[in-house]
Amino acid sequence: MRKFKIGIPVITPDGKELLPAGTVVTGEVIKDLIASNNRSVKTYPIFDHVSLKKDLREFLSTPPYNTIFSDKGEAEDLFTFIDDIKVIEPILQFMDYFKENDFYTYRHILVVFALTTMLSRLILPGYEKRLHDSIAGPAHDFGKICIPLEIMKKSTPLTRGEFRCVRHHTLAGYVLLSYYLKDSKNIASVVARDHHEKLDGTGYPRGIQRIHPMVEIIAVSDIYDALIADRPYRPVSYDNRSALEELTEMAEAGKASSNVVRALIARNRGNRPDHRKFHLSLAKRGKAPENNNYGIRKEDKKD
């Protein structure tokens, strides 16, 4: 991996500092961190943990997810599939932390997990055999545990400085997951690092062209939920049509995968068309709401 300086300390859910802010993250640094972890990795069924299953059912019963997951048989099949997914304990701690401290992020993690699991089964051949890849879903924002809560829960748009800090959740998640899974090439570590990259190389943290199909699915699901979700700093969220329009524009501009965007739009239609057989429409379906604040940054205060 290219050298990269991390701007925030990397801290585990139980409070251990793995790397101080300002560390240049090299392959060597990651190798040493992995070597320093002599605990074995225990995994637990995700749905056995407190109320995760019940909470997810509740989140999926609200629009637009009640349409996307409206086929009862298919939804039950998805829940049965997720029943077999096991995750490491720190990921459960991370979810508990956000359930208690920032419910918006907790909801986001679970919804993106369901969405990516559903889309992966639809798009990636043989996905069922790669059950372990599914942990990348709930783990994609793991690094947000290192972002101060006052930034995560801000009720006004982020300043550029605060946004620079938030961007480091990608690298922090990569470091944490590489450490816990003792593997920097694991799909969960790669997804945590690359889910804000774009197909055309205009994303962050590295500005690379993301190519992994699982990263692509999580990236599109992540943007979709970020657009439609309520956030404290956002008086109005995107309506569903405008959010799909935004993603269609990203696909047309070569920033996001057309195949994934098409699959998401197909799930939003009652008649469930085959996503491989229809084209993304150029016609405007909606427009970004005013006061949405998505992507808006304020200047930092100069004192």
* 71 token code pair: 């086929």
Q: Segment near Fe ion (CB under 5 A), from 8-16, 39-47, 133-141, 250-258?
A: 133-141
Q: Segment near Fe ion (CB under 5 A), from 116-124, 140-148, 156-164, 285-293?
A: 140-148
Count of residues in contact with Fe ion, rule CB under 5 A: 2
Please report how close the Cβ of residue 280 comes to Fe ion at its closest, in angstroms. Answer: 23
Residue with Cβ nearer Fe ion (141 or 239): 141
Q: Which contiguous run of DSSP H or E holds residue 110?
A: helix 103-123
Buried b / exposed e over 276-290, threshold 16 CB at 10 Å, is eeeeeeeeeeeeebe
Residue with Cβ nearer Fe ion (64 or 205): 205
Rounded CA gap, 70 and 73, in Å?
9
Rounded CA gap, 226 and 249, in Å?
16
Please report, as residue ranges, which positions from 238 to 297 form the binding site for Fe ion (by CB under 5 A).
none
In 3D space, the residue among 119, 196, 187 whose CA is nearest the CA of residue 163 turns out to be 196
Residue with Cβ nearer Fe ion (129 or 178): 178
Q: 133, 141, 216, 245: which one contacts Fe ion (CB under 5 A)?
A: 141
Please report how close the Cβ of residue 231 comes to Fe ion at its closest, in angstroms. Answer: 12
Residue with Cβ nearer Fe ion (108 or 275): 108
E strands of 194-273, at which residues? none
Hey, which residues does 4 pair with through a beta bridge? 25
Please report how close the Cβ of residue 300 comes to Fe ion at its closest, in angstroms. Answer: 22
Query: Are 188 and 143 spatial neighbours (Cβ–Cβ below 8 Å)?
Result: no
In 3D space, the residue among 36, 49, 45 whose CA is nearest the CA of residue 175 turns out to be 36
- Residue 197 touching Fe ion (CB under 5 A): no
Residue with Cβ nearer Fe ion (64 or 173): 173
Residue with Cβ nearer Fe ion (141 or 246): 141
CA atoms 228, 62, 99, 112: torsion sign: negative
Please report how close the Cβ of residue 58 comes to Fe ion at its closest, in angstroms. Answer: 19
Please report how close the Cβ of residue 111 comes to Fe ion at its closest, in angstroms. Answer: 10
Please report how close the Cβ of residue 196 comes to Fe ion at its closest, in angstroms. Answer: 6
Residue with Cβ nearer Fe ion (168 or 262): 168
Q: Segment near Fe ion (CB under 5 A), from 61-69, 135-143, 246-254, 285-293?
A: 135-143
Please report, as residue ranges, which positions from 35 to 54 form the binding site for Fe ion (by CB under 5 A).
none
Please report how close the Cβ of residue 17 comes to Fe ion at its closest, in angstroms. Answer: 21
Strands 43-45 and 24-25: unpaired
How far from the centroid of its chain's Cα atoms is residue 270's Cα?
26
Query: Are 208 and 201 spatial neighbours (Cβ–Cβ below 8 Å)?
Result: yes
Please report how close the Cβ of residue 166 comes to Fe ion at its closest, in angstroms. Answer: 8
In 3D space, the residue among 223, 228, 241, 227 whose CA is nearest the CA of residue 284 turns out to be 241
* 290 token code pair: 């005013």
Binding mask 218-237 for Fe ion (x = CB under 5 A): ----x---------------
Binding site for Fe ion (CB under 5 A): 141, 222
